[in-house]
Amino acid sequence: MNKEQEELKMSKIKKVLFYCAGNTCRSPFAEAFANWLKETKFKEELKNVEFDSAGIYHYYETAQPGTANYLKSKGIDIHDFKTKRIDFQLLEKQDLVLGFEQKHHIDKLKRKFKNLKDLDEKVFLLLEFAGEKKNLEIEDPFYLPQEEYNKILEKIEEGVLKTVEKIIEHNKLEVNL
């Protein structure tokens, strides 16, 4: 049993929340890509898993053009995506909560929602949960040229794929216990 499985107490992962600062770049990308994987590559394995996203702050109403353009190049449409702010009720329902930066996401969330039961056991950096050992932070691509923006989204894409595979493995283990 690995660290994440121990910390999640082997409960089945049914609700996953990706979150970042404003829910306009990284988290909507992660949500859309995870849902695309659910609709295409892992239909059966993820049929009972829901992916969502939110931001610590609420700046804009929709995803940034850089995120929408990159997803569109992969055949994923997010034209109807609407940003939302993370709150106690949304956070409480989640089995797994994944952020992108320790100081600005994980630490801030844990301080803001310190009274939420089991928060420490279900909040991770995306790349940490995905099994990476170094370079776990994923910077905000906001204001970057599209080429650099895309490199950050590629890193998130790899992290989401590994995370989805880990969730599938975790849920299979939980069923077999």
Would residue 33 count as lying in a domain?
yes
Distance CA 134, CA 158 (A): 14
pLDDT value at residue 59: 87
Could you identify the residue written with the tokens 């009720």? 89
Would residue 143 count as lying in a domain?
yes
Residue ranges making up the domain that contains 80: 16-169
- The alpha carbon dihedral of 102, 87, 8, 25 has a sign of negative
In the chain, the number of structural domains is 1
pLDDT band at 10 (very low <50, low <70, confident <90, very high): low
Would residue 176 count as lying in a domain?
no
Would residue 146 count as lying in a domain?
yes
pLDDT tens sequence across 62-101: 999 999 999 999 999 999 999 999 999 999 999 999 999 9
pLDDT tens sequence across 120-173: 999 999 999 999 999 999 999 999 999 999 999 999 999 999 999 999 999 998
Would residue 9 count as lying in a domain?
no
CATH code of residue 104: 3.40.50.2300
